[in-house]
Structure 1
Amino acid sequence: MSTRAVLEVIALDAVDAVAAQAGGADRLELVTDMAADGLTPPVRTFAGIRAAVDIDLRVMLRLADGFAAGDLDRLVQAARELRAAGATEFVLGFLDGHGCVDLDAVERIVGELDGAAWTFHRAVDRAADRDALRKQLDGLPGLDTYLTAGSPHGVDDGLPTLLAEAARRGEPGYEPRLLVGGGLRLDHVPALLAARIDGFHIGGAARPDGWSGPVSATAVEEWRRAVDGQ
Structure 2
Amino acid sequence: MSNRALLEVIALDAQDAVAAQAGGADRLELVTDMAADGLTPPLKTFAAIRAAVDIPLRVMLRAADGFAAGDVDGLVRDAEALRGEGAEEFVFGFLDETGGPDLVAVRAVASALAGCRWTFHRAIDRAASRDALRKELAGVPGLDTYLTAGSPLGVDDGLGVLVAEAGRRDEPGYEPRLLVGGGLALDHLPTLLGAGIDAVHIGGAARPGGWSAPVSSAAVAEWRDALDA
What TM bracket, shorter-length normalisation? over 0.9
Partner of 2:67: 67
Relative to the length of structure 2, the TM-score reads 0.99
**Cα distance, 1:73 vs. partner?**
1.0
1:45-67 CA distances to partner (integer Å, 9 max, x unpaired)? 00000000000000000000000
Distance 1:104 1:6 in 2: 30
Distance 2:212 2:139 in 1: 39
- Partner SS state of residue 123, structure 1: helix
1:210 aligns with 2:204: no
- Partner SS state of residue 21, structure 1: helix
1:14-42 CA distances to partner (integer Å, 9 max, x unpaired)? 00000000000000000000000000000
Partner of 1:95: 95
**Cα distance, 1:139 vs. partner?**
1.2
Partner of 1:222: 222
Unaligned runs of at least 5 residues, structure 2 = none
Amino acid of the structure 1 residue aligned with 2:29: E
Amino acid of the structure 2 residue aligned with 1:173: G
Distance 1:61 1:201 in 2: 17
**Cα distance, 1:97 vs. partner?**
1.0
1:152-199 CA distances to partner (integer Å, 9 max, x unpaired)? 000000001000000001110010100000000000000000000001
**Cα distance, 1:2 vs. partner?**
6.7
Distance 1:161 1:2 in 2: 27
Distance 2:211 2:170 in 1: 37
Partner of 1:10: 10
**Cα distance, 1:226 vs. partner?**
1.0
Amino acid of the structure 2 residue aligned with 1:161: V
Matches within 5 A, 1:92-131: 92-131=92-131
Distance 2:37 2:2 in 1: 34
- What RMSD, in angstroms, separates the aligned Cα atoms of the two structures? 0.8
Partner of 1:40: 40
Distance 2:96 2:175 in 1: 24
Report the number of matched residues. Answer: 229
Q: Is contact 1:200-1:227 (8 Å) kept?
A: no
Relative to the length of structure 1, the TM-score reads 0.98
- Partner SS state of residue 173, structure 2: coil
Partner of 1:133: 133
- Partner SS state of residue 97, structure 1: coil
* Bigger shift: residues 2-11 or 30-39: 2-11
1:44-94 CA distances to partner (integer Å, 9 max, x unpaired)? 000000000000000000000000000111111100100000000000000
Distance 1:75 1:170 in 2: 32
Distance 1:77 1:175 in 2: 29
- Partner SS state of residue 178, structure 1: strand
Partner of 2:53: 53
- Partner SS state of residue 25, structure 2: coil
Partner of 1:163: 163
1:109-152 CA distances to partner (integer Å, 9 max, x unpaired)? 00000100000000000000000000011111111100000000
Distance 2:49 2:170 in 1: 34
Distance 1:78 1:192 in 2: 34
